[in-house]
Structure 1
Amino acid sequence: MSTTDLEAFADQVAQHIANYLDGLERVALGDGEEGVVPFLLLEVSQISFIGAQLGANEDVVPEGNIEPPHALEGDVDALRQGLAARLADVDDYVEVFDPFSKKPELEAYRLSDDLADIAADLTHGLRHYEEGNRIEALWWWQYSYFNHWGNHAGAALRALQAVVAHARLDVAEDLTVEAADEVGVL
């Protein structure tokens, strides 16, 4: 890709990241009493799609192959705490960290930690972007996708999908059994 193409791609990625961060902040602050988990499922799905695009793209290497310094990172603790409060009943889950390991082990995760860690990584790149360093931003988003936030997004996506699936399928199963019992099938 040419530099112009990479910069245009960075613009697209930055917009998706801003949407993700805005959505998380709204949830953490209490918006959307009903439907928080399905909303987060959509948010994580969309940011995972952007991550997949970053992963499928050629390696992005910043000029001089170094990351320029920029302002200090924002603190995501308030975001993490707000999400933890909203996700209290479904925050903790387990996941296989490396399915290709010779001895895969279950790891304990928290959705609130995953979502906040993703936000921290994306915000780091967004700071580069806002300072006019679009190639560095794109490099950071791609690098951190492979190195950190991509794993958290994948794990969170599976956990959120499982919560939604259980809510829908378990209810449907209960209603089916109840209806079958009422008509004398069981």
Structure 2
Amino acid sequence: MQSQEVEAFRVVATVYCDFIDSCRIFENEESFRKLLRIISQLYTNALDLPEVELEEEYLTDVDFPLPEVDVKHHNVYTEIFDPYHDETPVNGCLDDDIIDIYSDIKKGHILYEQGQDVKAVWEWRFGLEVHWGEHATSAIRALHSIKFL
């Protein structure tokens, strides 16, 4: 499945995974600024991914090690999951957001490299809608606070 939208997302997905693999400790303004920019681009590009359907039921069987990240004293932040419901705020964790995004994006990236591009796009799009998209928007909000507030 070749399209400009898929290629644009794949490029940013590669940048994100490479960045997390190479920068395990986030403690200076530059590392947080770069992370904010990459996650924002990842989320924006994911919005343009095409909807795809798989011909058969599919279970992800991609296995890979997850990196450990350290965001120092910026890890825990306050979160409200649904802004349209009156709920009690809970704690979110930036390191969890970073790794959950990484995990979902990396699965699709590996599938894409294996030539299973339809499954990769499905993985990226499905994750955006039900899992990593929520982590991305939460991380963007937390990183925005680190940078500007």
Which residue of 2 is the match for residue 173 of structure 1? Answer: none
Please report how far the alpha carbon of residue 51 of structure 1 lies from its aligned counterpart in structure 2 after TM superposition: 2.2
What is the CA–CA distance in structure 2 between the aligned matches of 1:51 and 1:114, rounded to whole Å?
16
Count of residues paired in the alignment: 148
* CA root-mean-square deviation: 2.1
Q: Does 1:66 align with 2:49?
A: no
CA contact (8 A) 1:10 1:137 kept: no
Relative to structure 1, the CA distance from residue 117 to residue 61 in structure 2 (aligned partners, 3 Å threshold; closer, same or farther) is same
Partner amino acid, structure 1, of 2:52: V
Please report how far the alpha carbon of residue 89 of structure 1 lies from its aligned counterpart in structure 2 after TM superposition: 1.3
Partner amino acid, structure 1, of 2:146: V
What CA deviation, in whole Å up to 9, does each residue of 1:88-107 have, x standing for no partner?
11111011111123x32312
Give TM-score scaled by structure 2 length. 0.88
Q: Does 1:149 align with 2:140?
A: no
Relative to structure 1, the CA distance from residue 68 to residue 132 in structure 2 (aligned partners, 3 Å threshold; closer, same or farther) is farther
* Higher Rg: 1
What CA deviation, in whole Å up to 9, does each residue of 1:90-139 have, x standing for no partner?
111011111123x3231211111101100000111112111111111101
What is the CA–CA distance in structure 2 between the aligned matches of 1:163 and 1:147, rounded to whole Å?
26
Residue aligned with 2:82, SS? coil
Give TM-score scaled by structure 1 length. 0.72
What CA deviation, in whole Å up to 9, does each residue of 1:22-48 have, x standing for no partner?
1122221x5895512111111111111
Structure 2 counterparts to residues 1-186 of structure 1, below 5 A: 6-8=1-3, 9-28=5-24, 30=25, 35-54=30-49, 57=50, 59-62=51-54, 64-67=55-58, 70=61, 72-76=62-66, 79=67, 81=68, 83-84=69-70, 87-101=71-85, 103-166=86-149
Percent identity between matched residues is: 24
Flag structure 2 segments of 5+ consecutive residues without an equivalent: none
CA contact (8 A) 2:29 2:147 kept: no
Partner amino acid, structure 2, of 1:116: I
